[in-house]
Amino acid sequence: MPELLDASAEANAQTPRTNAAGRLLAVLDAFGPRNRALSLSEISRRSGLSLSTAHRLVHELVSWGALERDPNGCYSIGVRLLELAALAPRGLDLREAAFPCLDELHHRTRGNVHLAVRDGMQVVYVEVIRACATHPTSGKAGDRCDRLSGGQLRRLDMALALIGDPELVFLDEPTTGFDPSARHAAWEVIAGLRDLGKTIFLTTHYMEEAETLADQIVIIAAGRAVASGTPATIGGRATDATTVTFSLPDGLTSADLPALPAPVTEGRGRTVEIVHHEPVPVLHALTTWALEHGYPLTDITAHRPTLEEIYLRLTEEHQ
């Protein structure tokens, strides 16, 4: 992202400013969400103006109140511009209508809540209610959607998809780029929409996401639907065999195990597997034997195929 910002600054510096208004705007255009305070030399470089011209214009803007100078000699946007910006009809009316919703959303999520307006094909953030001090995160007021991270853009995509309270929602890879906490928060939002009776078409490569959210799943391989069903039954998952796995106690071999209803397979590290469609008889025989002889079997597990394993099997079969 810094490279993009530097490139933008260079582009501004190369744009010719042929009149007084253009030069004043060049000074103001030097500021941005990641350049809120600038020295005079930085303003000169980012605006493409000579140092003497930048100095004269900055002095005029400070006198009018468009810029302010801090004790360190750096300049930032002044209160006069903030005052004028607050009078923009679109922003003023939107704030009055949106603040009750923003406040309610902030209290429910305890996170940053932003208010934004569309500007052509971009979105400009105009207000933010910040999260509580125990969970500090940076607000995006004054920023544009083309300067957001991948995860933040995905959040914006989801928000735009939900504007207007639609009955049918299409979400394409909605949590790509999210960290785990953001992903689970998005899942709560999607699950809430489902609980409200909305119909949601969701594409994803996260099998955990599909299993958490979906009522019905369709697996597509090579452009064709190869399986469909509920998360519990798709691809024969409900009827697949269970694999019981554990490590043999020291000094024992598979021949020392009790009679079992399925063959025993030895793997690496003294691990054995028993595959059977009915795990209860297998577990009963093993646990009874272990209790009688004092074997802890602390790593014993009973494993059914996961949705990811079903997906891999089906897609490999249709490659």
Per-residue pLDDT reduced to its tens digit, 271-295 = 999 999 999 999 999 999 999 999 9
DSSP designation for 173 = S
Cα dihedral across residues 305, 306, 307, 312: positive or negative: negative
Whether 297 contacts 287, CB under 8 Å: yes
pLDDT digits (tens, 9 = 90+) for 202-223: 999 999 999 999 999 999 988 8
- The pTM for the full model equals 0.53
Could you give the angle at which helices 2-14 and 40-47 cross, rounded to 10 degrees? 70
Residue keyed to tokens 């639907």: 225
DSSP designation for 73 = S
- Average of pLDDT values for 86-92? 68
Q: What percent of the chain is predicted at pLDDT more than 90?
A: 39
- Average of pLDDT values for 228-233? 92
Assign 32 a pLDDT band (cuts: 50, 70, 90). confident
Per DSSP (E only), the strands in the chain are 67-69, 75-77, 113-119, 122-129, 168-172, 199-203, 217-221, 224-229, 242-247, 264-266, 271-276, 301-303
d(CA 266, CA 223): 39
CATH annotation of 2-78: 1.10.10.10
pLDDT value at position 103? Answer: 75
Tokens of residue 217, six digits: 């799943």
**Domain segments of the chain: what residues?**
2-78, 88-147, 241-303
Q: Is the pLDDT of residue 270 over 50?
A: yes
d(CA 127, CA 117): 10
d(CA 209, CA 182): 13
Single-letter residue type at 79: V
The Cα-based distances of 319 to 219, 221, 313, 314 in angstroms read: 13, 7, 10, 9
d(CA 122, CA 142): 12
Assign 7 a pLDDT band (cuts: 50, 70, 90). very low
pLDDT value at position 9? Answer: 45
d(CA 84, CA 60): 17
d(CA 31, CA 46): 9
Average pLDDT in the chain:
82
Q: What are phi and psi of 205, to 5 degrees?
A: -110, 0
pLDDT digits (tens, 9 = 90+) for 108-165: 656 667 777 766 666 677 766 666 544 445 555 656 666 666 666 777 777 777 767 7
Q: Is the pLDDT of residue 90 over 70?
A: no
Q: Is the pLDDT of residue 252 over 80?
A: yes
Q: 88-102, 173-187, 290-304: which range is least confident on average?
A: 88-102
